[in-house]
């Protein structure tokens, strides 16, 4: 400590340590760091003796690592000696590790994912009940205010969680915090995922407030009124009389087909033999009867008063009842 | 005969015996083993053995700051280690006795006793 001889490690020593470290790469990080720490002091001392090169004194780093493993009762990486063979073996062992060495190693290998996940779960939990529409507020980036702030908060939480996971902070408080963080996140994971799933799937269809306006609408078939699908249209004339087989066109002259329950509708055909999908009201087959429901089914009890200021008894001119089939003709 | 093969079986006992005399750090143990005559003992083997014995609960460990360099991790033998040493020592002596008898060099085994 007082002399600088061993503080500045030579390039040779550093590269030797690195190579031993690489040969021990499959060990748990804590164990590996411990072994390398001790080897570091060892190498420094040998370097201080300054008699010969590290390799001539200790053997190749790979051989050293293999000997260390054998003596310490650690699993061998693979065939000892040849650097290339060992590197390949290490690579293979590394790739095979999750499946081959049991659930403990597998869990260890996905720990970083858990660090990120628990940060997200904790932020989600914190923001969850704070929102008026909490079901909707739980989105991929938990809402803590403006969008930018939400993302920053989430990133900060992820960084903090990962640092805790890597044990960058070793204080007693940190250990205590980690334990609670894990418990809270583990307990919160399932409800948070369920709620998020629900929000993602059904959020756009619910009337939970202004947030919904931000969600992109899915393209929909058919006609909607106040968010509910229209299954039939009933037309009444000025006198309040229900009309049947009224053909309706949209702003471009296309037949308006509300597109529901096509197989349950009676097919209307025009004089040319073409199916008419826009003659309203639809006549639906009753679910249990093979016949067809009356044209005004569902509105039988409805009374529509006549309009004011319209001459009664004389319906609109018949010309308007047959809409022009071409959009250009309909244009004025 | 290759001594390193023999060494493998008795390195635990040798390390425990060295630490029974006095606590030591890794390289110190290596040097003491070598000066005792185990020239072929590998550095890595000693470090690995120390670690395994420590994990097995036969050794204690503490870090001592050093004036001239890095902090050193010292190992000392504990009660369990002493018990292991006594047990293994007995086994080894009996084994050495047997081997000596087989090889008909009784002088050496008598010298040990």
Every domain of chain B and the residues it spans: 3-112
Q: How far apart are CA A60 and CA A308, in angstroms?
A: 104
Residue A297 has pLDDT above 80, yes or no: no
Residue A3 in contact with partner chain B when CB distance is under 8 A: yes
Q: Which residues are paired to A246 by β-bridges?
A: A280
A124 CB neighbour count, 10 Å cutoff: 26
Residue A81 in contact with partner chain B when CB distance is under 8 A: no
Ranked by mean pLDDT, the top range of A188-202, A311-325, B28-42 is B28-42
Of A1, A48, A70, the CB nearest to B48: A70
pLDDT score of A101? 59
- Substitution target in A24, A42, A67 with the highest count of B β-carbons within 10 Å is A42
Residue A330 has pLDDT above 70, yes or no: no
Q: How far apart are CA B84 and CA B13, in angstroms?
A: 8
Residues of chain A in contact with residue B52, where contact means CB-CB under 8 angstroms, are: 71-73
Residues of chain B in contact with residue A73, where contact means CB-CB under 8 angstroms, are: 48, 52, 55
Whether B70 and A73 lie within 8 Å, measured CB to CB:
no
Residue A148 has pLDDT above 80, yes or no: no
Residue identified by tokens 């004194």 is: A57
Provide the token pair at A87: 């590197």
Whether B52 and A3 lie within 8 Å, measured CB to CB:
no
The residue among B55 and A241 whose pLDDT is bigger is B55
Provide the token pair at A69: 């493993």
Tell me the C-alpha to C-alpha distance, in Å, between residue A4 and each of A8, A120, B70: 7, 46, 10
pLDDT score of A213? 46
pLDDT score of B68? 66
Q: Which fold has domain B3-112?
A: Arc Repressor Mutant, subunit A (1.10.10)
Q: How far apart are CA A124 and CA A113, in angstroms?
A: 16
Whether A44 and B27 lie within 8 Å, measured CB to CB:
no
Which residues of chain B, if any, have pLDDT below 70? 1-4, 68-70, 105-113
Residues 6+ apart with CB under 8 A from B107: none
Residue A15 has pLDDT above 80, yes or no: yes
Whether B69 and A6 lie within 8 Å, measured CB to CB:
yes
Whether B47 and A3 lie within 8 Å, measured CB to CB:
no
Residues of chain B in contact with residue A41, where contact means CB-CB under 8 angstroms, are: 25-27, 69-73
pLDDT score of B29? 92
pTM (2 d.p.): 0.41
Of B26, B45, B69, the CB nearest to A38: B26
Q: How far apart are CA A142 and CA A120, in angstroms?
A: 8
Q: How far apart are CA B93 and CA B12, in angstroms?
A: 14
Length of chain A: 332
Residue A322 has pLDDT above 60, yes or no: no
Decide: A257 and A278 in contact? Cβ < 8 Å.
Answer: yes
pLDDT score of A234? 81
pLDDT score of A295? 52
| Percent residues over pLDDT 70 in chain A | 63
Tens of pLDDT, residues A59-100: 888 889 888 888 888 877 654 445 666 666 666 656 554 445
Whether B66 and A72 lie within 8 Å, measured CB to CB:
no
Tens of pLDDT, residues A173-186: 777 878 888 888 88
- Substitution target in B25, B26, B30, B44 with the highest count of A β-carbons within 10 Å is B44
């Amino acid at each position: 400590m007082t002399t600088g001889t061993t503080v500045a490690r030579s390039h040779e020593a550093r590269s030797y340590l690195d190579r031993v470290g690489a040969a021990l790469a499959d060990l748990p990080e804590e164990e590996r760091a411990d072994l390398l720490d001790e080897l570091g002091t060892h190498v420094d001392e040998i370097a201080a003796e300054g008699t010969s090169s590290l390799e001539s004194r200790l053997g190749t780093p790979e051989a050293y690592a293999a000997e260390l493993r054998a003596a310490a009762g650690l699993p061998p990486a693979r065939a000892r000696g040849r650097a290339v063979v060992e590197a390949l073996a290490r690579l293979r062992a590394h790739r095979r590790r999750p499946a081959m060495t049991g659930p403990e190693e597998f869990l260890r290998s996905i720990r970083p994912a858990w660090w990120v996940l628990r940060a997200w779960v904790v932020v989600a939990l914190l923001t969850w009940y704070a929102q008026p529409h909490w079901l909707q507020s739980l989105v991929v980036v938990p809402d803590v205010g403006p969008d930018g702030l939400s993302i920053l908060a989430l990133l900060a939480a992820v960084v903090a969680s990962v640092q805790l996971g890597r044990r960058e902070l070793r204080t007693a408080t940190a250990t205590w915090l980690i334990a609670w963080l894990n418990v809270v996140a583990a307990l919160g994971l399932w409800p948070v995922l369920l709620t998020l799933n629900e929000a993602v799937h059904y959020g756009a269809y619910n009337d939970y407030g202004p947030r919904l306006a931000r969600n992109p609408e899915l393209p929909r078939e058919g006609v909607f009124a106040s968010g509910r699908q229209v299954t039939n249209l009933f037309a009444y004339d000025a006198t309040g009389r229900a009309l049947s087989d009224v053909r309706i066109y949209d702003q471009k002259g296309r037949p308006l087909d509300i597109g529901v329950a096509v197989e349950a509708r009676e097919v209307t055909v025009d004089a040319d033999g073409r199916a008419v999908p826009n003659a309203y009201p639809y006549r639906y087959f009753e679910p249990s009867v093979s016949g067809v429901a009356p044209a005004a089914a569902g509105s039988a009890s409805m009374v529509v008063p006549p309009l004011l200021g319209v001459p009664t008894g004389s319906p609109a001119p018949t010309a308007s009842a047959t809409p022009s089939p071409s959009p250009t003709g309909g244009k004025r | 005969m290759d001594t390193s093969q023999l060494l493998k079986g008795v390195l635990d006992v040798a390390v425990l015996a060295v630490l029974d005399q006095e606590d030591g750090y890794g390289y110190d143990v290596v040097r003491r083993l070598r000066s005792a005559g185990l020239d072929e003992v590998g550095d890595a083997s000693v470090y690995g053995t120390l670690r395994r014995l420590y994990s097995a609960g036969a050794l204690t460990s503490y870090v001592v700051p050093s004036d001239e360099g890095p902090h050193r991790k010292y190992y000392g033998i504990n009660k369990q280690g002493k018990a292991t040493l006594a047990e293994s020592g007995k086994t080894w002596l009996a084994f050495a006795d047997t081997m000596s008898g087989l090889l008909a060099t009784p002088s050496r085994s008598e010298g040990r006793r």
